[in-house]
Chain A
Amino acid sequence: MICPACLNEVGDYDSTASHMVREAYRSDVIHVMWLNRNISKKRMEVEEVRVRLEEFFRGEPKEWIMRRFVERFFGDPPHPFVEAMQRPTREVLLGYVLEHQHFLRQWVISLSTVISRTKVEEIRRMEAENITEEYVGCEGRPPHLELLIRMGVALGMRREDIVNTPPLKRTRDALAELDRLSRTLSPEAVSGAMHSLELIAHRGVRDYGAKYTYFDPSILKSGYPREVVEFLREGYDKDVKHSEYALELASEHADPHELKVGALKAWEAFDSYLLARLERARSLG
């Protein structure tokens, strides 16, 4: 079993709890932060941490991931970016464009590590198809990266300004973490963790207790530019299928604990990355 904070192999829940308490007593940042955000801000002894860890990680992986993701991003209050997307301003959508082009590049890199390392043919094929849709285009449809850039142009930015805008530091840090995870965890856990991020656009999240969806679907029929609707519709239509199928495969082939730990780590990076979109939006305002 790996430590959910440092990803080092530690043994069973007893040794994981001892390890985490020892690191927390040393005020190690990543262990303290993990415990604060997932278990408790209160200082605890080893036995209590062991019990709380077992409770926290209990559950079938796919259902656990969906429930925990919804709690984190669609809870009350939801992630600030989800809140902003209920009625996105031009600046919020441009912030999305300028940072997400970098995320999509890292997406392809991370999924490529899965293709090169997995021995599960179904996962390899799924990732190859996903990369094609996101980055290359297929069946006469442009890739999502192109739809994203067109959204930015429709909102008044020049294409060359969009593609020449480097990422914010917050985005760079988040993508570096996703890159690190994709080279550290098993490929099947990486696949599940990365595709769990597509739950952000899953239109069925209300069935899992979400108070919001990624955006108000009435936007798809509203006065936003056609290119905005086309980009958002792609995710709205496709990401349910992507995420659910990928999570089923990951649940079948990845170590359940590593999959959950990997998903949590990916969400930390993603959470920060979504804040970067808002940071960019504020800089444009």
Chain B
Amino acid sequence: MGKRTFFCCEHCARGYKNVIQEVLRRTGWDRLDSLELEGNYRGRKGVARNGDKSYVFSFRLGSEAEITEFREEDSKS
């Protein structure tokens, strides 16, 4: 990952890494140019971008910041 990012705690940092890995795995991309997240512990939505491609998804994290649910949503072109 090429950008230094501050997190409030280890849980959020681990969760963020897990989400990046999951997006890369599902898309087959070699990198993310940006990742936007919104929501809260009950459910979050994200938009990941690679060049002009985007991938929209929703997810939840468990008590150890593991991904417990992950679903692709309709992507914008």
Contacts and interface: CB of A to CB of B under 8 A. Distances in A.
Given A33-B9, A170-B62, 10 more contacts: A27-B8, A27-B9, A28-B9, A37-B41, A169-B62, A169-B68, A170-B63, A173-B62, A272-B63, A279-B69
15 contacts: A24-B8, A27-B7, A27-B8, A27-B9, A33-B9, A36-B8, A80-B42, A169-B68, A170-B62, A170-B63, A170-B68, A173-B62, A279-B60, A279-B69, A282-B69
Given A37-B41, A80-B43, A32 B62 contact: no
Nearest to A276: B68
Interface residues of A, number: 19
Contacts of A80: 42-43
Interface in A267-284: 271-272, 275, 279, 282
Nearest to B10: A29
Nearest to A81: B42
A213 B69 CA distance: 26
B11 interface: yes
Contacts, number: 35
A29 B64 CA distance: 11
A198 to B, nearest CB: 21
Interface string A170-191: 1001000000000000000000
A269 B68 CA distance: 16
